[in-house]
Amino acid sequence: MKTTRNVLSLALVLVLVLLPAFSAGTKEAAQGTVTLKLEQFSGSEATLSGEALRGMIAEFEKQNPTIKVELQTIGYDDYFTQLQSKVVGGNAADVFELNYENFVAYASEGALADVTSLLGDTSGFNKTALDAFNYQGVQYGVPNSFSNVVLFYNKALFDQANLAYPTSDWTWKDVEVASKKIMSLGKNIWGFYRPLTFHEFYKGAAQNGGSLMNAERTAFTVNLPQNIEAVSIMAGWQNDSKIMPTDADMAGMGDWDLFKSGRLGMLVTGIWAFGDFTANCPFEWDIAIEPGNVQKATHFFSNSYVVSETSKHPAEAAKLAVFLAGSKEAAKLRVEASWELPPVTYPEIIDSYLSITPPENREAVFASLDYLVTPPVSIQQAEMQAIIESYLGQILSGKQSAKAALDACQKELEAKISL
Amino acid sequence: MSIQGRRGIRVALPYLLPSLLGALLFAILPIIISLLLSVTNWSGMSRIRLTDGFLKFVAEHFVGLENTKAILADSEFWRALSHNLYFVVLYLPLMLVLSMICALIINAPNRGANVYRVVYYLPVLTSWVAGSLIWKWLLSPVYGPINNFLAIIGIEGPLWLQSEVWAMPSIVLASIWKDMGFYAMILLGGLKSINTEYYEAARIDGASKAQMFARITLPLLSSVLFYVSMLSMINAFQLFPQVMVMTKDGNAGPNGATMVMVERIYKYAFRYGKMGYAAAYSWILFVIIMAFTYIQKRGEKRWVNYDV
């Protein structure tokens, strides 16, 4: 009895030890094909975007029969932690996705391959988006999508409140007035939602004529008077005018869900909500350029495909990146899935993007591009954002005045973050 | 060392080797590496190889005690430490009393002892992530059963995990639920080892139950109680998964209310690209735990009784 068990467990150990040796990889060299690993966070398996991505990969494999692509999609929350350990261990995927905010850190650490000469024709790319992934004169990646944020509004609530729909001339004042009327429609109906996060703050500061860094990005300017005013108004939406629900009011409900439930008049969020809202809003909705205070400013979000410095097939990897990011075929699939904006300039793609409704006013997406402000970026991006958000929390909870908090924030950033 | 001793080692070594190898690879080596990293400014985002120029890498990125100095000079560190201490202050006494009660219930000669044993021990076997998610739901301000129950008896429940004041007590609550069974089992072991003759003698002398508990059980259990309090204090300083899952991650809880040492170490290592700094942070934590253990050990002589 005992011997049988020993033999069995020994066999089990042997199987476990030897198994990896027989797994994939040994076969492919013989057939002359190259297998590329692709890892990304945008798009999810379950939605239209996942289908579009699989379609793009299938098309690429059809055009390049000697290249096989292994896709792994990892949720945004875990993506960067696992990416870091893979990069450090030298096991990063051949092609992986980075957002604009994390791109600088990885480029400066030498984790990315220089693809300047491997990209081929890049004339189809939107220039702003392409240049975003150029670090110190070297192109380290290609934008695969870009997107911005607009004002979504619930037409039904506006009709009920006898209000005119938001236009591109609206300012924060108009939002406040309209919100109050919408809230008078009933209990648990809210006017506006725009949380005081790092991203909303840098944009809000710009909408009020301020900025978090100087133009050369060599110094922080977090406690400018314009920023202090902007942050006071933004916090006031929750604390003074109360047109915006607090975390307690939301009780764990997300902002998108609140909008879809028909109880929110206006929501500032990304155009990546189009697919979800089209499918799940039981009422009519539309969009407008986001209102500013003294001037307009809109978000620039961009994700990119980069090639790992450790990739054994950089040429093939760059080819895959360019195809997924900038080819007409891929852009078409992306548009059909309402999956952010393809970073391309092909007129027919842009036209087909505009022809899809809702929203009726899709032009606002492109009109918003005129007011793009790029986020402040540092090699210590995550730490910088966490510091800023901790002070925004102080302001929201009323523990510190906007001025005191931003003064302290400026000091801490100067001490901890090198620019 | 006697000849027998040396021969003993030779015989024992092959048997010890597998686990020794594991300890060396997965505990001792990483400890040495983290010590070396703690004096560097490695970001944790660039590639390094242990087998290829690691010491040269350390020398090139050497910053001496800069990391340690920067940590100690940062008010954030003291804030995180004070949150850990706050946790210990709430957790330790509650833990000792409740696990003691559990152990006494299980030890009492009643029919359901085994059922109790399983019930108290189940949370210990649950993974922290699953447990945290359950507690997150239980403590949800509007939909959570706890606040709904409080509403029935006319109390407006707090926002729990979303409230700056209640976030840490909520974490303590969940931690006690999770750990109580474990410590109760250790205490139960101590209770079982007390000779029943003491109780018989006391009963003949007319001692009450409370007297027996205070005069016999507690003194004879003091060594086990000491062990339990030391273990739970060390655990308390390593507080991490429940905080990460239950409270808002980006800000370390509402306005940083659940910012604790290990959470900081994790953020610096894996979010903020400061691996060297994080390594120094963990060595500081090590020193703190050492110091507290030493103090407790000193106190041991005063109240712990080893003559069972």
User: Tens digit of pLDDT for each residue in B139-194?
Assistant: 988 788 999 999 999 888 888 888 889 999 999 999 999 999 999 999 999 999 98
CA gyration radius for chain A?
A: 24
pLDDT (0 to 100) of residue A22: 46
Shortest CB distance from A251 goes to which of B142, B250, B267?
Answer: B142
Q: A213 to chain B, minimum CA–CA distance in Å?
A: 20
| 8 Å CB contact of B45 and A397 | no
- Whether residue B45 and residue A252 make contact (CB cut-off 8 A), yes or no, is no
Burial class (CB in 10 A: 0-12, 13-18, 19+), A319: buried
In chain A, residues with a C-beta closer than 8 Å to the C-beta of B47 are: 87-90, 111, 310
Contact A394 B272 (CB under 8 A): no
Residues of B in contact with A397 (CB under 8 A): 164, 254-255
Paired residues of A151 in beta bridges: A268, A288
Which residues of A fall within a CB distance of 8 Å from B46?
87-88, 109-111
A190-248 pLDDT, tens digit per residue, is: 999 999 999 999 999 999 999 999 988 899 999 999 999 999 999 999 999 999 998 77
Mutation site, A80, A84, A385, interface B, largest B CB count within 10 A: A84
For residue B23, what pLDDT is reported?
A: 93
How do strand A149-154 and strand A264-270 relate by DSSP bridges? antiparallel
Question: What digits encode the pLDDT tens for the residues A269-306?
Answer: 998 888 889 989 999 999 999 999 999 999 888 899 99
SS3 state of residue A150: strand
Look at residue A74 and give its three-state secondary structure: coil
Instruction: Give the residue from A211, A209, A223, A207 showing the smallest Cα distance to A175.
Output: A207
Which residues lie below 8 Å from residue B200, measured CB to CB, with a gap of 6+? none
The pLDDT assigned to A26 comes to 43
| CA B57 to chain CA centroid, nearest Å | 34
Question: What's chain A's average pLDDT?
Answer: 88
Assess whether pLDDT exceeds 90 at residue A339: no
- Domains in chain A, CATH or no CATH each: 31-145+302-345 (3.40.190.10), 149-300+361-416 (3.40.190.10)
Q: For residues A185 and B235, what is the distance between their CA atoms, to the nearest angstrom?
A: 52
Contact: B256, A386; criterion CB under 8 Å = no
What is chain B's length?
A: 308
The pair of structure tokens assigned to A321 is 């990146």
Shortest Cα–Cα distance, A162 to chain B (Å): 32
- A394–B141 C-beta distance less than 8 A: no
Beta pairing, strands A264-270 & A190-193 = parallel
Provide residues of B within 8 Å CB-CB of chain A. Answer: 43-49, 140-143, 159, 162, 164, 250-251, 254-256, 267-268, 270-274
Which residues of A are less than 8 Å from B139 in CB distance? none
Q: For A64-108, where are the E strands, in sequence order?
A: 67-73, 95-99
Nearest CA-CA distance, residue B271 and chain A, Å: 6
Angle at A240 between CA A234 and CA A242, to 5 degrees: 85
For residue B41, CA distances in Å to A416, B59, B201 come to 14, 11, 66
Estimate the share of chain A in helix, then strand, then coil, as percent rounded to the nearest 5: 50, 15, 35
**Torsion, CA A285, CA A289, CA A293, CA A299, rounded to 10:** 110
Q: Has residue B255 got a pLDDT over 50?
A: yes
pLDDT (mean) for A405-412 = 96
Domain ranges of chain B: 1-34, 66-303
In whole angstroms, give the CA distance from residue B212 to residue A389.
Answer: 56
Q: Among A43-57, B131-145, B256-270, which is the least confidently predicted range?
A: A43-57
Q: What is the DSSP letter of B216?
A: I
Q: Which residues of A touch B256 (CB under 8 A)?
A: 390, 393
Q: A380: nearest CA in chain B?
A: B272
Residues of B in contact with A84 (CB under 8 A): 44-45, 270, 273
Residues of A in contact with B255 (CB under 8 A): 390, 393-394, 397, 399
- Closest CB from B43, B143, B267 relative to A251: B143
What local confidence, expressed as pLDDT, does residue B21 receive? 93
Query: So what's the pLDDT on residue A150?
Result: 94
Q: How far is B65 from chain A (nearest CA, A)?
A: 17
* Beta-carbon pairs below 8 A across chains A and B: 76
**CB contacts, 8 Å: A90 with chain B:** 47, 49
Q: Name which of B43, B49, B164 is nearest A109 (Cβ-Cβ).
A: B43
Structure confidence at residue A1 (pLDDT): 47
Spell out which residues of chain B touch residue A418, defining contact as CB-CB under 8 Å: none
Condensed to tens digits (0 to 9), the pLDDT of residues B261-295 reads 999 999 999 888 899 999 999 999 999 999 999 98
pLDDT for A181 beyond 70: yes
Residue B106 is encoded by which pair of tokens?
């299980």
Task: Measure the N-to-C terminal CA separation of chain A; round to a whole number of Å.
Answer: 69
Residues composing chain A? 419
pLDDT in tens, B22-67: 999 999 999 999 999 999 999 888 888 888 888 888 999 999 999 9
Query: Could you tell me which CATH number the domain at B66-303 has?
Result: 1.10.3720.10
ipTM of the complex: 0.77
